[in-house]
Amino acid sequence: MTFLPGLAFAAPWALMLLAGLPLLWRLLRVTPPRPRRVAFPALALLLGLDTQRRQAESTPFWLLLLRLLLAALLILAAAGPSLDPRPAGRVEGPLLAVIDDGWAAARDWDRRRTHLDGLLAAAERTGRPVLLLGTAPPADGGPVALGRLTTATEARTLAAGMEPKPWPTDRAAALRALETLPFDRAGRVAWLNDGLADPADGALSRRLQGLGGGLEVVTGRSGRLLLPPAAGSAAERLMPVARRLPTAEAEAFAIRARDAAGAVLARSEGRFEPGRATAEAAIDLPTQLRNRLVRLEIEGERAAGATLLLDEASRRRSVGLAGGDPSSAPLLDRLYYVERALAPHAELKRGEAAELAAAPGLDVVILADVPLAPGPTAARLAARVEQGAVLVRFAGPLMAPNNAQGSAADDPLLPVRLLAGGRALGGVLSWTTPMRLAPFPDASPFHGLAIPGDVEIRSQVLAEPGLELTSRTWASLTDGTPLVTAQRMGKGLVVLIHTSANAEWGNLALSGLFVDMLRRLTALSQAGAAPAAQAGALAPAELLDGLGRLAPAAGIAAPLERDALATAVPQPRHPPGFYGPAEARTAFNLGPALPPAAPFAPPPGAAAAELGESLPGLDFRPALLLAALALALADLAATLALRGLLWRVAAVIALLWPAGGVRAQSLALEAGLATRLACVATRDAALDRLCLAGLRGLSVRLAERSTAELAEPMLVDPGRDPVLFFPLLYWRITPGQPQPSEQAVETLNAYMAKGGVILFDTADEGQAGAGPDTAELTRLRRLVAGLALPPLAPMGADHVLNRSFYLLKSVPGRWDGATLWVSQGAEAGNDGVSPVVLGGNDWMAAWAVDERGRPIHAVVPGGERQRELAYRFGINLVMYALTGNYKADQVHLPAILDRLKR
What secondary structure does DSSP assign to 754-796, as a single string?
Answer: TT-EEEEE--STTGGGSSSPPHHHHHHHHHTTTS-PPPEEEPP
Question: Average pLDDT of 58-66?
Answer: 77
Question: Average pLDDT of 275-294?
Answer: 86
DSSP state of 627: H
- Containing structural domain, residue 247: 235-310+537-560+576-585
Is there a single domain that holds both residue 335 and residue 469?
A: yes
Q: What is the pLDDT of residue 243?
A: 93
Which has the closest alpha carbon to 86: 13, 15, 2?
Answer: 2
User: In this predicted model, what pLDDT tens digit does every residue of 8-34 receive, in sequence order?
Assistant: 666 677 777 777 777 777 776 665 556
Q: Does residue 15 lie in a domain region?
A: no
In angstroms, the CA 330 to CA 238 distance is 29
Q: What is the pLDDT of residue 674?
A: 84
Q: Does residue 5 lie in a domain region?
A: no
- Domain CATH code at residue 774: 3.40.50.12140
Query: Which amino acid is it at 410?
Result: D
Q: Does residue 410 lie in a domain region?
A: yes
The alpha carbon dihedral of 261, 263, 268, 269 has a sign of positive
In angstroms, the CA 572 to CA 140 distance is 7
Cα atoms in the 13 Å half-sphere on the side-chain side of 890: 10
First to last CA, the chain: 92
Beta-carbon count within 10 A of 11 CB: 13
Q: How confident is the model at residue 321 (pLDDT cuts 50, 70, 90)?
A: very high
Which has the closest alpha carbon to 813: 725, 726, 730?
Answer: 730
Rg for the chain, CA atoms, rounded: 38
Question: Average pLDDT of 756-768?
Answer: 78
Q: Does residue 623 lie in a domain region?
A: no
Contact between 456 and 509 under an 8 Å Cβ cutoff? The reply is no
In angstroms, the CA 847 to CA 874 distance is 8
User: In this predicted model, what pLDDT tens digit does every residue of 689-735 receive, in sequence order?
Assistant: 999 999 999 999 999 898 888 989 999 999 888 888 899 999 998 87
Q: Does residue 46 lie in a domain region?
A: no
Contact between 135 and 175 under an 8 Å Cβ cutoff? The reply is no
In angstroms, the CA 223 to CA 590 distance is 12
Q: What is the pLDDT of residue 529?
A: 41
Altogether, the residues listed in the chain come to a count of 902
Range from 44-53, 307-316, 647-656, 727-736 carrying the lowest mean pLDDT = 44-53
Is there a single domain that holds both residue 468 and residue 548?
A: no
- Strand 188-193 and strand 95-99: the pairing is parallel
Number of domains composing the chain: 4
Q: How confident is the model at residue 826 (pLDDT cuts 50, 70, 90)?
A: very low
Residues 6+ apart with CB under 8 A from 159: 113, 116, 117, 120, 132
- Domain CATH code at residue 342: 3.40.50.880
**pLDDT for 212 beyond 60:** yes
Residues 6+ apart with CB under 8 A from 362: 318, 319, 320, 349, 356, 384, 389
- Strand 2-4 and strand 7-9: the pairing is antiparallel
Question: Average pLDDT of 161-187?
Answer: 91
Average pLDDT for the chain: 82
Is there a single domain that holds both residue 478 and residue 549?
A: no
Contact between 294 and 269 under an 8 Å Cβ cutoff? The reply is no
Instruction: Indicate the angle between helix axes 109-126 and 152-160, nearest 10 degrees.
Output: 170
Beta-carbon count within 10 A of 623 CB: 13
Share of the chain above pLDDT 90, in %: 29
Beta-carbon count within 10 A of 1 CB: 15
User: In this predicted model, what pLDDT tens digit does every residue of 432-473 receive, in sequence order?
Assistant: 578 899 999 988 889 888 999 899 998 888 888 888 898 999
Which has the closest alpha carbon to 438: 484, 471, 499?
Answer: 484
Is there a single domain that holds both residue 556 and residue 523?
A: no
Q: Does residue 31 lie in a domain region?
A: no
Q: Does residue 67 lie in a domain region?
A: no
DSSP state of 408: G
In angstroms, the CA 109 to CA 105 distance is 6
- Domain CATH code at residue 136: 3.40.50.410
Is there a single domain that holds both residue 258 and residue 323?
A: no
Residue scoring higher pLDDT (154 or 611) = 154
Q: What is the pLDDT of residue 135?
A: 94
Residue 623 DSSP SS3: helix
Is there a single domain that holds both residue 860 and residue 744?
A: yes
Which has the closest alpha carbon to 367: 321, 420, 423, 432?
Answer: 321
Q: What is the pLDDT of residue 768?
A: 42
**pLDDT for 158 beyond 70:** yes
User: In this predicted model, what pLDDT tens digit does every residue of 354-403 receive, in sequence order?
Assistant: 899 888 878 899 999 888 888 899 999 999 999 889 999 999 888 775 54
Strand partners, 484: 475, 497
**pLDDT for 608 beyond 60:** yes
**pLDDT for 531 beyond 80:** no
- The verdict on whether omega for the bond into residue 371 sits within 30 degrees of 0, i.e. cis, is no
Is there a single domain that holds both residue 611 and residue 722?
A: no
**pLDDT for 508 beyond 90:** yes
Q: What is the pLDDT of residue 53?
A: 55
Q: What is the pLDDT of residue 171?
A: 94
Q: How confident is the model at residue 131 (pLDDT cuts 50, 70, 90)?
A: very high
User: In this predicted model, what pLDDT tens digit does every residue of 568-607 receive, in sequence order?
Assistant: 999 999 999 999 887 778 899 998 888 888 899 889 888 8
Is there a single domain that holds both residue 545 and residue 666?
A: no
Q: What is the pLDDT of residue 424?
A: 33
Residues 6+ apart with CB under 8 A from 799: 822
**pLDDT for 37 beyond 90:** no
Residue 307 DSSP SS3: strand
User: In this predicted model, what pLDDT tens digit does every residue of 661-686 receive, in sequence order?
Assistant: 455 556 666 766 788 999 999 888 88
Contact between 614 and 602 under an 8 Å Cβ cutoff? The reply is no
Which has the closest alpha carbon to 126: 303, 207, 292, 6?
Answer: 6
Beta-carbon count within 10 A of 481 CB: 17
In 3-state terms the chain splits into helix, strand, coil percentages (rounded to 5) of 35, 20, 45
Is there a single domain that holds both residue 734 and residue 669?
A: yes
Q: Does residue 13 lie in a domain region?
A: no
Is there a single domain that holds both residue 415 and residue 270?
A: no
Is there a single domain that holds both residue 542 and residue 525?
A: no
Q: What is the pLDDT of residue 205?
A: 92
Is there a single domain that holds both residue 418 and residue 548?
A: no
